[in-house]
Amino acid sequence: MTYSRLRAATMAAVALVAAGPLVAPQVAGAAPGNPGAPRYSAGAASIGDPYFPDAGNGGYDVQHYDLDFSYDPATRFMDATATITAVATQDLDRFNLDFRGPEISSLTVNGHPHAFTRDGQELIVTPRPKLKTGQTFTVVVRYAGVPAVVTDPDGSIEGWVPTDDGAFVAGEPQGTPAWLPTNDHPTDKATFRFTAKVPEGLTAVGNGQLLSQRTSDGWTTFVWDSTEPMASYLATITIGNFVVTETTTAGGIPVYVAVDPRQVAGSASAVAQLPKMIDFFSSKFGPYPFASTGAIIDRAPNVGYALETQTKPVFSGAASVSTMAHELAHQWYGDSVSPERWSDIWLNEGFATYAQWMYTEYNGGASVTQTFNSSSNYGRAASSSFWQTVLADPGPVDMFSSIPYNRGAMTLHALRGKVGDDTFFRILREWAANNRHGHASTADFIALAEKESGQHLGAFFDVWLFQQGKPTTW
Ligand code: TRP
Ligand code: ZN
């Protein structure tokens, strides 16, 4: 699902990055004497995001992903059928999906078996009959084998990470194609359904709501349904031995929490505060954007970070109160409102970090002003290398460094001082409401802040977002 207001911009960006034989969109001439005839060409092999040039594809808009699979942790073997429903946004004689997963045994488009080729993470499909603009089509991909672990520019790992009792599944920024063919970019959201069959005794925990859970012949099948649009990087179907607790928040939102028994003690405080966090953030940011909430607290020591997987953040170790607050705040900022380009990552991490500061203050800890001034934040010396990275374009290696988190949160606190509390919280609420279940850019945020405050904020944002150095006046 793509917002049409952005499609023209996206297409233009794709045209700019087009390079190499697979990417160049063919400019088909109109058939002479037949101006209404389809003009078939290849969908772009990139969505045009400079941080991950292979990520995403052009020419179609995914509506729904359905993945039906079995996974056996003993062999690490997955046997899967993925069904992808999409709408063509141009007349297509070829299109790509992003896929780094195991060997494909068959691929059909609208029920017709098709030849396909693979090149790196590109899965290249040549549909016959060809597809016309506006046509809904269904791609069925069958594959089996060991899903991939993906290494990021900063050296951390994601994708399908085996654990001692299952698999830790996380995909930011580029891990989901390790196990599911996708249009892997936050600008193409879709609904998802996972049907996961795992050995009896294990639990498969996915995004959204649990539709059913059935055991027979030593295997349990879990069906998870994500009814709101989701970016592919926020998908999870994490598998392991879990203690499951189901409750509801005071506001009536269902809560599903799965905790590795070895993490129960270390996560108790964070888990106990989860409903209160959702209610606190709802009061500040506007209504919680999804039909359910929860968390997956696993044991994946080689991962070492948590991720805001939609509706249920996933933790690779015990969850602290502060990290839980951060991942839940991402449900508004990051998950419901996703970045238009990965260079906009401060819109995710700065917002979630600021929400963490707010929750600390609400919970009786340091005030946000104290945190702003601390030695991890504004208290850093002007000579520190911390200040030398441009917040609005940190580069792929620094996407998850302290720059987007700490300088991002500082930028919001500085904005709050500039426009006042009422306007600041109205900006945060409008940001969540206007872009709900969509995506937005840094330029969109600046425009909203100027509109809501009635101030020219060009100089302010220039100092905080676009310049190197420690801001001194703004
Ligand atoms: N977005 C995650 C968070 O802030 C962190 C994260 C996702 C991450 N992918 C990563 C950190 C890769 C390091 C490397 O909760
Ligand atoms: Zn974060």
Residue 446, CA distances (Å) to 146, 302, 436 in order: 44, 38, 17
Q: What is the pLDDT of residue 453?
A: 98
Is ligand 1 within 6 A of the CB of residue 400? yes
CB-CB contact of 55 with 61 (8 Å): no
User: What is the CA(307)–ligand 2 centre distance, in A?
Assistant: 7
**Residues with CB in 5 Å of ion ligand 2:** 349, 352
Buried b / exposed e over 162-176, threshold 16 CB at 10 Å, is bbebbbbbbbbbbbb
- CATH architecture of the domain 245-331 equals 2-Layer Sandwich (3.30)
Residue extents of the structural domains in the chain: 40-241, 245-331, 342-466
The phi and psi torsions of 361 (rounded to 5 degrees) equal -65, -45
Q: What is the pLDDT of residue 36?
A: 72
Count Cα atoms within 13 angstroms, Cβ side, for 263.
26
User: What is the CA(323)–ligand 1 centre distance, in A?
Assistant: 11
Structure tokens given for 114 = 């098709």
Is ligand 1 within 6 A of the CB of residue 255? no
The CATH class given to the 342-466 domain equals mainly alpha
Q: What is the pLDDT of residue 115?
A: 85
- What residue owns the CA closest to ligand 1's atom 14? 156
Is ligand 1 within 6 A of the CB of residue 452? no
Give 10-residue mean pLDDT values along the chain (474 residues): 42 38 42 73 97 98 98 98 98 98 98 94 97 98 97 97 98 98 98 99 98 98 98 99 97 97 98 98 98 98 98 98 98 99 98 98 98 98 98 98 98 98 98 98 98 98 98 96
User: What is the CA(327)–ligand 1 centre distance, in A?
Assistant: 10
- CATH architecture of the domain 40-241 equals Sandwich (2.60)
Q: Write out pLDDT tens, residues 349-387.
A: 999 999 999 999 999 999 999 999 999 999 999 999 999
DSSP percent split of the chain into helix, strand, coil, nearest 5: 30, 30, 40
- What residue owns the CA closest to ligand 1's atom 8? 400
Q: What is the pLDDT of residue 291?
A: 98
Query: From the alpha carbon of 326, which atom of ligand 1 is closest?
Result: 15
Cα separation of 115 and 174, whole Å? 26
Is ligand 1 within 6 A of the CB of residue 84? no
Q: What is the pLDDT of residue 13?
A: 40
Which amino acid, 308? E
User: What is the CA(171)–ligand 1 centre distance, in A?
Assistant: 9
DSSP state of 320: P
Query: From the alpha carbon of 154, which atom of ligand 1 is closest?
Result: 14
- What residue owns the CA closest to ligand 1's atom 1? 307
- Determine the residue of 52, 149, 156 to mutate for testing ligand 1's pocket, defined as the one with the most ligand atoms within 8 A of the Cβ atom: 156
